[in-house]
C-alpha cells in the first residue's frame, strides 16, 4: 500500500515509518519503499523494518523499472509499505510524472491518504473527496487523520467523512518529533540510538492509533504484478576488485542498488569513514563517495589530514556525488579538503533543488554526448576554473577526467547499470 497525503508536511513519514515498525512488531516481514529521490526517509524506514529502504523514482530509474525494483526489494516479505512524496499528484513540472500517484498506478497499489486535520473538521471530507475522485486510476482505500486534537474533533471529522474508511486517528504527540536542519530531517545514521528510540515510539503510536488489521486487508487487495524482479547483471571478472565506499555520519546518502550493482560488476565492497579512518581500506582499487552533509562535518573532515592526502594522491577511479564532490574539492568554507577536484566550495543561503536532464562530457563514468537524468539537492556552490562535466537547460556543474566523475547530480544506477561496470572495469590505461 502507498502512504500519500494532500501536501508535504501532512505526516506521511510519521505514519509510514510508524506503520512499518508496528507491522514488524506484529511479526510481519515489511518491505520499505520511498517514492522519489529522497535519501533520508529510507534511513528511518530501514530502522523500522530491519531491511534496506529502497527508492522508487520513475524519473531517475525509468517507469518500466518501478515494478521490477519494487519486487526486488519486496522479495520474501509479507507486506510492502510505500511512502509517497509531496502531495499525491505532485510530479515533475506541470505533470504527475514521478509523483506518488504515478508510482501507485505503476504498482496498482491502494492508497492511504494521510490528512492533517489540525484547524479543520468538516472540510476534511471535501479534501478527501477531491483527492479520491481527481484521477479514477488511483484507488484511495481509506484515510488516516493526523494531528487530531480531541475526541470531539475526531467525531466531527468521522461524521463528515461518512462511508470513507477511517483507518487511523493520530493525536498530536510532540514526543515523536524528529529533528531537522537545512536539508530536512537529520539522517538516522547520524543519530542512530536516538533515531531507534523515535522509531520505537512511532511504532507504538501507530499501533494504538491505527487499525492495523484493516490496513493489512487493504494492502492484500493489491493484485499480483506482471513483472519479474529486477536483478543486476552479473559480469564475469578474472578477479574481484576492492571498491572503497565512503560511509559514516558525513556520507549517508546512497541507493541500495548501487552496492548491489558494484558487486555484480565484480567489486568487493569495503566501507570507510572519512571522519575516523586515517587510511583507505587495504587494497583499495576504486573509491565511491556519495552524498551527505560534509558541510556539517567540514572541520572534522579537514582535521583528518592523512586520509585527505591519500585520497588526493589516489591514482585509481573515483566516483563522487554532491557531498563527495565537495570532499574532493580544494576547500569547503575555507577548510582544506582533498584537492583532487579543482575548485572551492562555499555554503549559500539558496537551496538548489530539482530534477535535471543533463548532457555529459567525457569522464571516468561518462561519455561525451550521453544523456543522464539526475537530481540536485544542496545549498552549496563551487567555483572552479574547469569546464563543467554536465550541462542542462539553465545550468551546469561537475568535474571529470579519465579517473574521476564528480558532480552535484544524484544518479540512480539501476537506470544506468553500465556506470557500475565502468567503475569496476575501466580501460586498463586508467588504472594505476
Q: In terms of domains, do 205 and 348 share one?
A: no
Whether residue 227 is contained in a domain is answered as no
Cell numbers 586508467 correspond to 430
Whether residue 233 is contained in a domain is answered as no
Q: In terms of domains, do 169 and 254 share one?
A: no
Q: In terms of domains, do 187 and 285 share one?
A: no
* 226-257 per-residue burial string, b: 16 or more CB within 10 A, e: under 16: ebeebebeeeeeeeebbbbbbbbbbbbbbbbb
We report the CATH number of the domain holding residue 352 as 3.40.50.880
Question: pLDDT 10s digit of each residue in the chain, 432 long?
Answer: 999 999 999 999 999 999 999 999 999 999 999 999 998 899 999 999 999 999 999 999 999 999 999 999 999 999 999 999 999 999 998 999 999 999 999 999 999 999 999 999 999 999 999 999 999 999 999 999 999 999 999 999 999 999 999 999 999 876 555 554 334 456 666 566 788 888 999 999 999 999 999 999 999 999 999 999 999 988 766 667 999 999 999 999 999 999 999 999 999 999 999 999 999 999 999 999 999 988 889 999 999 999 999 999 999 999 999 999 999 999 999 999 999 999 999 999 999 899 999 999 999 999 999 999 999 999 999 999 899 999 999 999 999 999 999 999 999 999 999 999 999 986 554 444
Q: In terms of domains, do 12 and 142 share one?
A: yes
Q: In terms of domains, do 272 and 158 share one?
A: no
**SS3 at position 392:** strand
φ/ψ (deg, to 5) at 349? -90, 0
Kind plus residue range of the DSSP H or E element containing 309 = helix 305-313
Q: Give the domain-ending residue among 219, 253, 275.
A: 219
Whether residue 230 is contained in a domain is answered as no
φ/ψ (deg, to 5) at 318? -135, 125
The pLDDT score that the predictor gives to residue 324 is 97
Q: Identify the active-site residue in 157, 210, 322, 338.
A: 322
C-alpha cell of 171?
493525536
The pLDDT score that the predictor gives to residue 430 is 45
Q: Give the domain-ending residue among 219, 251, 271.
A: 219
DSSP readout, 119-162? T-STHHHHHHHHHHHH-TTS-EEEEEEEEE--HHHHHHHHHHHT
Q: In terms of domains, do 259 and 317 share one?
A: yes
53 contacts 36 by C-beta, under 8 angstroms = no
Q: In terms of domains, do 209 and 278 share one?
A: no
DSSP readout, 317-352? -EEEETHHHHHHSSEETTEE---SSSSEEEEEEEEE
C-alpha cell of 44?
528511518
We report the CATH number of the domain holding residue 51 as 3.40.50.300
* Residue 322 designated active-site: yes
Q: In terms of domains, do 176 and 259 share one?
A: no
Kind plus residue range of the DSSP H or E element containing 372 = strand 371-383
Q: In terms of domains, do 167 and 283 share one?
A: no
- Domain enclosing residue 260, as ranges: 241-430
Burial of 334 (0-12, 13-18, 19+ CB in 10 A): exposed
Q: In terms of domains, do 358 and 393 share one?
A: yes
Q: In terms of domains, do 209 and 324 share one?
A: no
Whether residue 266 is contained in a domain is answered as yes
Whether residue 246 is contained in a domain is answered as yes
The pLDDT score that the predictor gives to residue 93 is 87
The pLDDT score that the predictor gives to residue 182 is 39
Q: Give the domain-ending residue among 219, 252, 269.
A: 219
Query: CA-CA distances (angstroms) from residue 25 to 43, 50, 263, 287?
Result: 18, 11, 32, 38
Number of folded domains that form the chain: 2
Distance, CA of 181 to CA of 372 (rounded, Å): 29
Q: In terms of domains, do 49 and 134 share one?
A: yes
Whether residue 234 is contained in a domain is answered as no
Whether residue 67 is contained in a domain is answered as yes
Whether residue 53 is contained in a domain is answered as yes
Amino acid at each position: 500500500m502507498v502512504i500519500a497525503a494532500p501536501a508535504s508536511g501532512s505526516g506521511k513519514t510519521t505514519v509510514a515509518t510508524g506503520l512499518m515498525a508496528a507491522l514488524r512488531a506484529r511479526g510481519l516481514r515489511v518491505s520499505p519503499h520511498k517514492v522519489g529521490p529522497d535519501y533520508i526517509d529510507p534511513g528511518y524506514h530501514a530502522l523500522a523494518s530491519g531491511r534496506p529502504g529502497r527508492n522508487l523514482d520513475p524519473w531517475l530509474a525509468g517507469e518500466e523499472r518501478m515494478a521490477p525494483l519494487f519486487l526486488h526489494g519486496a522479495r520474501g516479505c509479507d507486506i510492502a509499505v510505500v511512502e509517497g512524496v509531496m502531495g499525491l499528484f505532485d510530479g515533475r513540472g506541470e505533470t504527475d510524472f514521478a509523483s506518488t500517484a504515478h508510482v501507485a498506478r505503476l504498482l496498482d497499489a491502494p492508497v492511504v491518504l494521510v490528512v492533517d486535520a489540525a484547524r479543520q473538521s468538516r472540510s476534511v471530507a471535501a479534501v478527501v473527496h477531491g483527492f479520491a475522485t481527481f484521477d479514477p486510476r488511483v484507488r484511495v482505500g481509506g484515510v488516516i487523520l493526523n494531528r487530531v486534537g480531541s475526541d470531539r474533533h475526531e467525531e466531527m471529522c468521522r461524521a463528515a467523512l461518512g462511508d470513507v474508511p477511517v483507518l487511523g486517528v493520530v493525536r498530536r504527540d510532540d514526543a515523536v518529533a524528529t529533528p531537522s536542519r537545512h536539508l530536512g530531517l537529520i539522517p538516522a545514521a547520524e543519530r542512530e540510538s536516538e533515531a531507534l528510540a523515535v522509531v520505537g515510539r512511532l511504532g507504538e503510536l501507530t499501533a494504538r492509533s491505527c487499525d492495523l488489521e484493516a490496513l493489512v486487508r487493504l494492502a492484500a487487495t493489491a493484485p499480483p504484478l506482471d513483472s519479474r524482479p529486477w536483478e543486476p547483471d552479473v559480469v564475469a571478472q578474472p578477479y574481484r576488485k576492492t571498491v572503497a565506499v565512503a560511509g559514516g555520519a558525513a556520507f549517508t546518502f546512497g541507493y541500495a542498488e548501487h552496492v548491489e550493482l558494484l558487486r555484480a560488476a565484480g567489486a568487493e565492497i569495503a566501507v570507510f569513514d572519512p571522519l575516523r579512518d586515517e587510511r583507505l581500506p587495504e587494497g583499495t582499487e576504486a573509491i565511491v563517495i556519495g552524498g551527505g552533509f560534509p558541510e556539517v562535518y567540514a572541520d572534522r573532515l579537514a582535521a583528518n589530514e592523512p586520509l585527505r592526502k591519500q585520497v588526493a594522491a589516489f591514482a585509481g577511479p573515483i566516483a563522487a556525488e554532491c557531498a563527495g564532490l565537495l570532499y574532493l574539492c580544494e576547500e569547503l568554507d575555507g577548510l582544506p579538503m582533498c584537492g583532487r577536484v579543482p575548485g572551492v566550495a562555499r555554503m549559500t543561503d539558496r537551496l538548489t533543488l530539482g530534477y535535471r536532464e543533463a548532457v555529459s562530457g567525457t569522464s571516468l563514468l561518462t561519455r561525451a554526448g550521453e544523456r543522464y537524468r539526475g537530481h540536485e539537492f544542496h545549498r552549496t556552490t563551487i567555483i572552479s576554473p574547469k569546464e563543467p562535466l554536465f550541462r542542462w537547460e539553465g545550468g551546469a556543474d561537475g568535474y571529470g577526467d579519465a579517473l574521476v566523475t564528480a558532480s552535484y547530480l544524484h544518479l540512480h544506477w539501476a537506470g544506468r547499470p553500465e556506470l557500475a561496470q565502468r567503475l569496476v572495469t575501466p580501460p586498463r590505461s586508467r588504472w594505476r
